[in-house]
Structure 1
Amino acid sequence: MELVNVNDENFFDPTPRLKSSPIPIKFISFNIGDRNCICCGEKYIKALFCYQYYCKKCLSSYINNITDNNIYLDVYIYTMDLECSEHEINRTKIPQNIQECCRNCVIILCFKQIDGYISDYGLNKNNLTIYNKVIESEKYCKLCGKLLYQGTDKKTMMQSKLCSDCYLISSGFVESPLFKKRISIIYLPWWYNSSFCNVCRTKLKFTSDCQKYCVDCYIFYIGCRYCLTTNIIFGLTDQSQCRKCKRISPIIDSSEYSGLDDFLLNNIIYDNLEEVEFADSVKINDKYFEPQNILNSIFKLKSSIRTIRWIPFPQFTDIKEITKGGYGIIYKATWSSKNETVILKRFENSKNISKYFLNELKALLHCIKNYNGHLIKTYGFTKDPELEDYIIVMKYASEGDLHRYLQKNFTKITWNKQKSHILWQISMGLETIHNESFMHRDFHSGNILFDSDDTYKNGKWKTGDLGLSQAVNNKSSNDEVYGVIPYIAPEIFKGSEFTKEADIYSLGMIMWELTTGRKPFDNVEHDHNLIYRILDGERPEITEDTPECYANLMKSCWDPDPKKRPSIKEIRLAFGDWVFRGKNKAEFDQAETKRMELIKSKKIGPEFAEKPHPRAIYTSRPLSALISKCSSIYSIIPSDSNYISRLGNNTNTISLSSQNLNSTIQNFSSSLDSNYISKELELDIESLSTQNLNSTIQNFSTSKYISAELELDIESLSSTNQNFQTSLVKRRIESLNVETHDDSGKYVKSKLKYFVI
């Protein structure tokens, strides 16, 4: 069977051997779950051989109103009693179509235009005889007589089969006048009466006796009661046209999506089925096809294209603000239609589409393709009609984030398995993101949530807040950087772009947090000075109880060179080895013993830690100004990693005058390794002399900042310093090992920190 393209000018008839009924066929429902007639309220009766239901009263009315002999229905029928005194047809004539039947004693055996399974369950002897005749006749098409099946497989014989010449499936596209978007449509030549979405299994919403749609997938099903055909429309539009009788039906009640803008619809919701993909997915036997197999092929293709649900804002009540972040506000609310507590994440000033809102939606769309339960569940999105802000609707994690959990349960979280098991779950979430070629870009303990309602043992750790996430290959410029300083990789402070390796650095900080119950660098102000310290290589102090294998993995995540950090898969496998395969068990058991000793001696644990600094900020915030200041310092420094070693091998003392000091400083500043930066020391060059330089050196000779060596002969300094005043500017600080004399005349080496160009 050849797939028909109905967008051409040729007339197309999906059921060429059937006529369109002159009156609507109302004795069957569009909802397989209905048990009472939608027209008269009478109880439906079951077809004798299939789980198909119809209204006897409305069927009688239909037969009474049809006066011609055209074939409108493909149906197996039977009359209970040819001797019925109320027969209105010749008692000796076998009816060929439904209008030839007696309306009083006709029985429907099976509708061919409704998918079903011809079953012999519960049949008496007489009915079994009829059943066997129907099964035998199923080898041939009732409409054209073509041989369909010659086998003896009972299951195949019982399955409903449609002739590939008499039932034609087609696809096409229509322009949506609502959103100016091309929408794909599949035209089914049968009556699709399912009550659940084949993509997501959500219960369909019925808007009329022949219209229904999936609120999650934006798929609409429009049936024609004159032809018993169904249009499946993959998107929002205002009407549907039957391909057989050309009747146009307005689509009812799509107001639920009225708050959506065209931009969102075009970029987030729609993922149309391409005609070629659809044709490839529909594998049809030359003689016949089984409707359910066709549907499985169609929706298997569509199910790989996931969408985010639109939820009308009035469905949320009892909205309460919880916290405010760098680019949004978090609320707790009740989702009235589900009677469930949810989280609403409002993106402020997103009337014209916030890029963070779009980032999160796009990341969610990609990541839920291979959803493994380690990302916080997202139900959909909505829009506040008053403020016109967009809102993402997420599952409420009643136990809060990782940091809160550590504060409450630190003493109970053992080294033996619990710490590694928590991290294994966290790594699964990050791996899901990385596998879809995305980066989180704001990975910290506040975005790791504990879902106690999850059926997975005692709950599950899940990653959330993808508002800053971005595709790895996204090269669009973004001058704004949001985040929490202690969790941001050092290369970002130098102006580098975010990478997956930056997420790995953040995971290393989360690993450290599990060892202490504290957030990294919580005892200092989070300003440019902390950034300088991080760039100098400072990392949180590793606790005494930390197993060596754990510490090594954590430090590898902290490596200043992103290329030397492990991948998320390598990290996840390491955690898995510790948790599930008992690797390094003795090491972890020993660490647990040491941990309990430290807790008893009040040396570790959040309750024994010093009070956090009031300016230690753990809410994601814009950091571009700080990062710009730090990165500009490094922008002029070449990446000559061998210079320090070359400089260290030079043992010659350089005799400096005002001229050669200028030259030395300039050469020194242009060659220093960019991994080093130190604390500021401002010098008044005009006042430099041997005496005050000695004093300055002595004050800073115990500096803890380690830098490259440069030997200066201070005795040769003259008072003519004015020529190199402009050579020293407040741009970068490095340490100099300076040779001078002490009071006894001996040479003394000291470290001098100063700014260079």
Structure 2
Amino acid sequence: FQLKNCSKLINMIEWVPYEKFDDVMYKSKGGFSTIYTATWISGWITNWDEHDRKFLRSGSQYVVLKALNDSSDPNDGFFKEDYMLILSIALDGDLNDYLKSNSKITWLDRYTLLYDVASAIEVIHNSNMIHKDLHPGNILLDGKAWLLCDLGFCGPANKGQAFGIMPYVAPEVLTGGGYTTASDIYSIGIIMWIITSRCHPFSDRDYDNILATDIFFGLRPTIISGTPDNYEKLMKECWDANPSHRPNISVLCKFFISKKNEIMNGKYSFPELNTTPNLLSKTSKIIDSNNINEAILRKKKTIETDEIEALLEYNNP
């Protein structure tokens, strides 16, 4: 049935028994999934042999197995067991790995990375979708190309909850405002900062309600000395507190590709940054917007009390 109704083999869903994999090894666990690597003995379907009436396969492939937490559905008889997604592997790791292992990152490297990421986000936004969980762990290097992963595996349905690594989540999302294309733009602004600093934002602090409250009231990462003015300006526009003031993704794509081309043509030169990586492992988590809003309300009351006390002190010296 699937073969007759699929114009492309890539559109087929294949159920692969666990015994078809060798050397299954645990790698990491995130907010909604657990990651393993394995060798898929027969590999992907590549074609259909009409004469022998069988699928042709790629042969042994090194793959990622992604187990979605709580993926089994006891209310649906079709899914009676936990299952995993079989994914291609990016052998060069993620953006965290890249920033840790490369001591000299040039502006050409940065603009190449940013253009690849922005181009992928542009495709997503033009399809009326939102990534929702953009951070260094979801930006993968495969050869010379940067790729995005985890589209569609994030964003809990419950209102009053967000999902992600806190400093990469837009303030309006932290407070329960919901995801938009503008919230992806905010995340790109933070990515722009991390590739100049080579560390996570606010890495010396707990990612808690206090930090979320400070972000709501305007806290942003400190600009790295030597950052070009036009880069800094665009970065700050991306993390503007007002979503409507942020640029759209096409503006970012045009800026990144123009700067990349200028560097390649020898028309743009800027001193390279000298930074030391500080990238401890961070994973996406559920963020309770209700608790954050309560913390914000408490801080607002504190600010109002301080302002009243200052006014009384001024009027009664």
Name the structure 2 match of 1:325: 30
Name the structure 1 match of 2:106: 414
SS at match of 1:550: helix
Deviation of 1:532 (Å): 1.0
Correspondent of 1:391 among 75, 84, 104: 84
Deviation of 1:306 (Å): 6.5
User: 1:464 and 1:308, CA in 2 relative to 1: closer, same or farther beyond 3 A?
Assistant: farther
Correspondent of 1:605 among 238, 254, 276: 276
Identity %: 31
Name the structure 2 match of 1:337: 42
How far apart, CA to CA, are the structure 2 residues paired with 1:478 and 1:389?
Answer: 26
Uncovered stretches (5+) of structure 1, i.e. residues with no partner: 1-182, 184-217, 220-232, 236-301, 355-382, 453-458, 471-475, 636-676, 682-706, 709-732, 749-757
Q: Deviations over 1:198-232 (max 9, x none)?
A: xxxxxxxxxxxxxxxxxxxx21xxxxxxxxxxxxx
Indicate yes or no: 2:188 matched with 1:507: yes
Mapping for residues 640-659 of structure 1, pairs under 5 Å: none
Deviation of 1:390 (Å): 2.3
One-letter amino acid of the counterpart of residue 66, structure 2: K
One-letter amino acid of the counterpart of residue 555, structure 1: K
Name the structure 1 match of 2:51: none
> Does the CA-based 8 Å contact 2:34-2:68 persist in structure 1?
yes
RMSD: 3.1
One-letter amino acid of the counterpart of residue 62, structure 2: T
How far apart, CA to CA, are the structure 2 residues paired with 1:316 and 1:747?
Answer: 78
> Does the CA-based 8 Å contact 1:577-1:583 persist in structure 2?
no
One-letter amino acid of the counterpart of residue 512, structure 1: W
TM-score (norm 1): 0.36
SS at match of 1:320: strand
Deviation of 1:738 (Å): 2.4
Correspondent of 1:591 among 267, 271, 275: 271
Name the structure 1 match of 2:291: 629
How far apart, CA to CA, are the structure 2 residues paired with 1:335 and 1:448?
Answer: 24
Deviation of 1:633 (Å): 6.1
Correspondent of 1:315 among 20, 41, 44: 20
How far apart, CA to CA, are the structure 2 residues paired with 1:481 and 1:739?
Answer: 40
Between Structure 1 and Structure 2, the one with more helix by share is 2
Q: Deviations over 1:358-396 (max 9, x none)?
A: xxxxxxxxxxxxxxxxxxxxxxxxx8x8xx112111111
SS at match of 1:538: coil
User: 1:309 and 1:543, CA in 2 relative to 1: closer, same or farther beyond 3 A?
Assistant: same
Deviation of 1:590 (Å): 2.9
Q: Which has the higher relative contact order, 1 or 2, with Cα contacts under 8 A spaced 6 or more apart?
A: 2
How many aligned residue pairs are there? Answer: 296
Correspondent of 2:220 among 531, 539, 542: 539
Mapping for residues 239-638 of structure 1, pairs under 5 Å: 302=7, 307-313=11-17, 314-338=19-43, 339-352=60-73, 388-409=81-102, 411-415=103-107, 417-452=108-143, 459-469=144-154, 478-582=159-263, 589-592=269-272, 595=273, 599=274, 604-606=275-277, 618-624=282-288, 627-632=289-294
> Does the CA-based 8 Å contact 2:90-2:140 persist in structure 1?
yes
How far apart, CA to CA, are the structure 1 residues paired with 2:12 and 2:197?
Answer: 38
How far apart, CA to CA, are the structure 2 residues paired with 1:438 and 1:424?
Answer: 19
Q: Deviations over 1:565-584 (max 9, x none)?
A: 11111111110110124599
One-letter amino acid of the counterpart of residue 106, structure 2: T
> Does the CA-based 8 Å contact 2:36-2:66 persist in structure 1?
yes
Mapping for residues 125-274 of structure 1, pairs under 5 Å: 218-219=2-3, 233-234=4-5
SS at match of 1:438: coil
User: 1:629 and 1:477, CA in 2 relative to 1: closer, same or farther beyond 3 A?
Assistant: closer
How far apart, CA to CA, are the structure 1 residues paired with 2:239 and 2:270?
Answer: 25
User: 1:591 and 1:332, CA in 2 relative to 1: closer, same or farther beyond 3 A?
Assistant: same
Mapping for residues 39-54 of structure 1, pairs under 5 Å: none
Deviation of 1:740 (Å): 2.6
